[in-house]
Structure 1
């Protein structure tokens, strides 16, 4: 049996769109970048060589091919320290060609949302992220199940339509 494709595989083979929905207020809180940020170290957006990464390179290669890469984040307010960190380093995502929007949970009450964060590639490959209660990565699951794909596609678009572009969004 062939192994499931990774997110990197899916992005490299993507032909139209890559949509990412995040709904947690914290992820992998032992991430060295987050710990560095907590200690007061900040990236200089003008010094791209100091913060560019293989992930950002992959996203740039994807967007350069004309792929629509969009990330929507649903967050609690006031924002957690982790969300403050994410908001501050989102200039990296933008530099790689991603579009990013933010939506407070309070404005998402009437939206039908899936139970997990996900990437939806080309409207058909759904990569679902599973995290522990503490926000640590557990595993990914790839599915082509039409009902799950349809729910995630409609949820993403509903969030995107209501969310605020990164450049205009201010944390509380």
Structure 2
């Protein structure tokens, strides 16, 4: 009897796992592969906000013309609820949204061409300028297949008339 118990004991976990029999259930439609071109999600713009560890890039969906200005408009709106919950903040002052211009007359050079006009220039901290520069550089860089740090951004402050050339240094 002891021998019979020793032979049955190793089989007990296999036969008594506690899961009952079930019948097949509906699993939904089969996998369909990649979505069709017109059904693909919109592309993204990258914005820069601050966290406890420094400047952080976030992505927002985007569809439409003028990617650089669309990115700046979204930056001016500040972090959304989910981003704020992650501890992200913005240092942009309240006021008019910085305006982005690309192309001729914007300081073309080997690193790209973008100029951002900041209306509230005297109230815009160095921290806020970094957000603006990196957001503009990311938007222009993605359109030109360049990294943000490879795009020069000219920042024009209307309040004091200064014009500086900046590079995104994350």
Which structure has more helix as a fraction of its residues?
1
Higher RCO (CA < 8 A, seq sep 6+) = 1
In the superposition, the TM-score normalised over structure 1's length comes to 0.26
In the superposition, the TM-score normalised over structure 2's length comes to 0.26
Q: Rg bigger for which structure?
A: 2
